Amino acid sequence: MTPFDEAALVQAARKGSLDAFNDLVLAHQEMAFNVAYRILNDDAAAEDATQTAFLSAYRNLDSYRGGSFRAWVLRMVTNACYDELRRHKRRPTTPLEPINETEDEEIESPAWLADTAPSPEAAAEQRELAQAVQDCLNRLPDEFRVVIVLVDVQGLDYNEVAQVSKHPLGTVKSRLARARLRLRDCLQRFVELLPAQFRLKDEERA
Amino acid sequence: MNPRPLSPYQQQLLSEYLDDRLSARQKAEVEALLRDNPEAATTLENLRQLRLLLRNLPARRLPHNFTLTRQMAQQQKRPPVLSWLRLSSILAMLLTVFLVTLDLLPRGATAPQTIATADMYTYAAAAPTPPIIYWNGNPGNPAANAGAMGMGGGAEAGPLSKSDSAPRPIDPQQPVVTQPVIVEQPVSPPDTATAENNSAARSADTQPILGPRPEEAGQVLDTQPNSTQLTGNESTPPATTPLRWAQIGLAALTVLLGLLTLWGYKRWQRGK
């Protein structure tokens, strides 16, 4: 979608066109859901947060003052995720076993199981690595996780992230650097899954 | 070249270098660091691999489209009346708090200064004219001075008139008054206590006025008008003031509006 089209759709949606707004939803929903999933690490919670975010965006279209519509929508998504995280912290739940509804879905492991070294034989190496990364993301503080997901997973630039998080650019840079280093240190626990370049640090220290 | 631990500043520089967000000067600084410290080169390579890993994470499949239906779009709109109710209840609560705070403050802090001044003048006007004591006799009434021979002190006189205020020459024929002569002033309307005082004063023309008269010794004389009435007023319970009624009314309004808002929100949430 070109920026011109997006601006026209936003304009139409603000005048009350639900179809125009739904076109915007279709353009951004995949990114919104993936950001929510990486922050929350739960499909159902990510689904709720994404739907809540789009409803909130529709209700507050008047507050959109131009600029990156993607960043504005992602702000709604991260706000919904923060709400979900707060709700989860008030009523924490621990899954006893992973739920796999369909065979072709990715195998999800609860955090307590991932604390032990993952077995490379249990699943494909790529999936194990993805799960290890997600586990390490979950260990980051919420505000660090949001920044690294937006920059490194979704590819937003620093200014957009500053717009999403409503923090100064310096804060975004600092949080990103710290999040990357913490994530790197965490991933050393899964050294057998990492590419050879990643092992350099571990081997040099050994 | 021995690897040295990186400072947080150097780590942040490396992170920004990876995203090509540095100025030319900072870039040169990082490149020098990379040449000098193998730890910096290792860290940069780690960060590069990490970013690659994160960028290549598999995207999650969408469970469904997140488009809004007409029903969802309409139900999500909050009825304007709810916003008004909420605003009104907040305003009523703030007003109640303000009025209660106003009532709790000390009286002196809130009563206008002009009222206190007016009260002072009222008491001053109601009080009887204080007696004036002329030492060496009343120049306006030599006859009264005659009976006070040899007693010393001064003489009470009526209120000053223009003629009184002018200095008078001393008459050498007039005997020297060594005792004050008390000249009573008419008090209107006479009450019992004042009348008794007057008769006592008349009978004691020859007595000194410095200190209490013998018959008044041991008594507490209260010449303040309506003092008993004032004391009586203070002991009676205060009547409900308009301020109190306003507080009660606003508090009731706050509760009512708050309950209405809560009820409205519940209904709206159920309807969603």
Any A CB within 8 A of B66 CB: yes
Chain A residue numbers with beta carbons less than 8 Å from the beta carbon of B54 are 133, 148, 152-153
The tens digit of pLDDT for each residue in A80-100 reads 999 999 988 877 666 555 444
Report field, pTM of the whole predicted structure over 0.80:
no
For residues A30 and A34, what is the distance between their CA atoms, to the nearest angstrom? 6
User: In degrees, to the nearest 5, what angle opens at C-alpha A58 toward C-alphas A53 and A62?
Assistant: 120
* Three-state secondary structure of chain A: CCHHHHHHHHHHHHCCCHHHHHHHHHHHHHHHHHHHHHHHCCHHHHHHHHHHHHHHHHHCHHHCCCCCHHHHHHHHHHHHHHHHHHHHHHCCCCCCCCCCCCCCCCCCCCHHHHCCCCCCCCCCHHHHHHHHHHHHHHHCCHHHHHHHHHHHHCCCCHHHHHHHHCCCHHHHHHHHHHHHHHHHHHHHHHHHHCCHHHHHHHHHHC
For residues A49 and B84, what is the distance between their CA atoms, to the nearest angstrom? 28
The residues in A 29-58 lying below 8 A from B, measured between CB atoms, are 29-30, 32-34, 37-38, 43, 46-47, 50-51, 54-55, 58
CATH topology assigned to domain A109-206: Arc Repressor Mutant, subunit A (1.10.10)
Is there a contact between B53 and A129 (Cβ–Cβ < 8 Å)? yes
Sign of CA dihedral B116, B119, B123, B124: positive
Chain B CA closest to residue A188: B46
Predicted local confidence at residue B254, as pLDDT:
87
Phi, psi of B57 (to 5 degrees): -65, 140
**CA atoms within 13 Å, Cβ hemisphere of A29:** 20
Q: CB neighbours of A189 closer than 8 A, spacing ≥ 6?
A: A117, A132
Average pLDDT, integer, range A175-179: 96
Judged against a pLDDT cut of 70, whether residue A206 lies above it is answered with no
For B132, the enclosing helix (H) or strand (E) is strand B132-135
Any B CB within 8 A of A190 CB: no
Any A CB within 8 A of B42 CB: yes
Residue from the list A55, A180, A204 with its beta carbon closest to the beta carbon of B50: A180
Predicted local confidence at residue A96, as pLDDT:
53
- Taking an 8 Å cut-off on Cβ atoms, the answer to whether B46 and A133 are in contact is no
User: In degrees, to the nearest 5, what angle opens at C-alpha B156 toward C-alphas B152 and B159?
Assistant: 150
Name the minimum distance, in Å, from the CA of A92 to any CA of chain B. 24
Give the pLDDT band of residue B224 (cuts 50, 70, 90).
low
Give the pLDDT band of residue B148 (cuts 50, 70, 90).
very low
For residues A105 and B61, what is the distance between their CA atoms, to the nearest angstrom? 9
Predicted local confidence at residue B168, as pLDDT:
56
Bridge partners (DSSP) listed for residue B57: none
Judged against a pLDDT cut of 60, whether residue B226 lies above it is answered with no
Say what the alpha-carbon torsion angle A107, A112, A116, A117 is, to the nearest 10 degrees. Answer: 30
The residue among A14, A25, A26, A33 with the most chain B CBs within 10 A of its CB, best to mutate, is: A33
Percentage of chain B lying above the pLDDT 90 cut:
21
Any B CB within 8 A of A124 CB: no
Chain A residue numbers with beta carbons less than 8 Å from the beta carbon of B70 are 18
Q: Which residues of chain A are in CATH 1.10.10.10 domains?
A: 109-206
Residue from the list B15, B53, B63 with its beta carbon closest to the beta carbon of A43: B63
The residue among B57, B64, B74, B82 with the most chain A CBs within 10 A of its CB, best to mutate, is: B57
Name the minimum distance, in Å, from the CA of B70 to any CA of chain A. 8
Chain B CA closest to residue A48: B66
Chain B residue numbers with beta carbons less than 8 Å from the beta carbon of A29 are 62, 65-66
Judged against a pLDDT cut of 70, whether residue B34 lies above it is answered with yes
Q: Which residues of chain A are in CATH 1.10.1740.10 domains?
A: 1-91
- Taking an 8 Å cut-off on Cβ atoms, the answer to whether B66 and A198 are in contact is no
Respond yes or no on whether ipTM tops 0.90. Answer: no
The tens digit of pLDDT for each residue in B180-196 reads 555 555 555 545 555 55
For residues A153 and A138, what is the distance between their CA atoms, to the nearest angstrom? 14
Name the minimum distance, in Å, from the CA of B55 to any CA of chain A. 5
B124 against A65, higher pLDDT: A65
Residue from the list B43, B63, B78 with its beta carbon closest to the beta carbon of A47: B63
* Angle subtended by helix axes B8-18 and B38-55, to nearest 10: 50
Chain B residue numbers with beta carbons less than 8 Å from the beta carbon of A153 are 54-55, 57
Is there a contact between B153 and B181 (Cβ–Cβ < 8 Å)? no
Predicted local confidence at residue B104, as pLDDT:
81
Predicted local confidence at residue A27, as pLDDT:
94
Average pLDDT, chain A: 83
- Taking an 8 Å cut-off on Cβ atoms, the answer to whether B19 and A184 are in contact is no
Chain B residue numbers with beta carbons less than 8 Å from the beta carbon of A46 are 60
CB atoms inside a 10 Å sphere around CB A114: 19
- Taking an 8 Å cut-off on Cβ atoms, the answer to whether A18 and B68 are in contact is yes
- Taking an 8 Å cut-off on Cβ atoms, the answer to whether A174 and B67 are in contact is no
Residue from the list A43, A153, A158 with its beta carbon closest to the beta carbon of B54: A153
Give the pLDDT band of residue A201 (cuts 50, 70, 90).
low
Query: Three-class SS of residue B240?
Result: coil
Residue from the list B58, B68, B70 with its beta carbon closest to the beta carbon of A54: B68
Predicted local confidence at residue A135, as pLDDT:
93
The Cα-based distances of A138 to A133, A135, A143, A149, B218 in angstroms read 9, 5, 11, 11, 92
Give the pLDDT band of residue A70 (cuts 50, 70, 90).
very high
The tens digit of pLDDT for each residue in A15-60 reads 889 999 999 999 999 999 999 999 999 999 999 999 999 999 998 8
Q: Residue B45, exposed/middle/buried by CB under 10 A (0-12, 13-18, 19+)?
A: middle
Judged against a pLDDT cut of 50, whether residue A104 lies above it is answered with no
Give the pLDDT band of residue A191 (cuts 50, 70, 90).
confident
Chain A residue numbers with beta carbons less than 8 Å from the beta carbon of B14 are 177
Predicted local confidence at residue B227, as pLDDT:
47
A124 against B48, higher pLDDT: B48
The answer to whether the bond into A168 is cis (omega within 30° of 0) is no
Predicted local confidence at residue B174, as pLDDT:
57
Percentage of chain A lying above the pLDDT 70 cut:
76
Predicted local confidence at residue B261, as pLDDT:
86
Residue from the list B21, B57, B65 with its beta carbon closest to the beta carbon of A158: B21
Alpha helix (H) residue ranges in chain B:
8-18, 24-36, 38-55, 70-76, 80-104, 107-110, 113-126, 142-146, 162-165, 192-203, 227-235, 242-271
CATH topology assigned to domain A1-91: Rna Polymerase Sigma Factor; Chain: A (1.10.1740)
The tens digit of pLDDT for each residue in A129-148 reads 888 999 999 999 999 999 99
Average pLDDT, chain B: 70
Average pLDDT, integer, range B64-76: 84
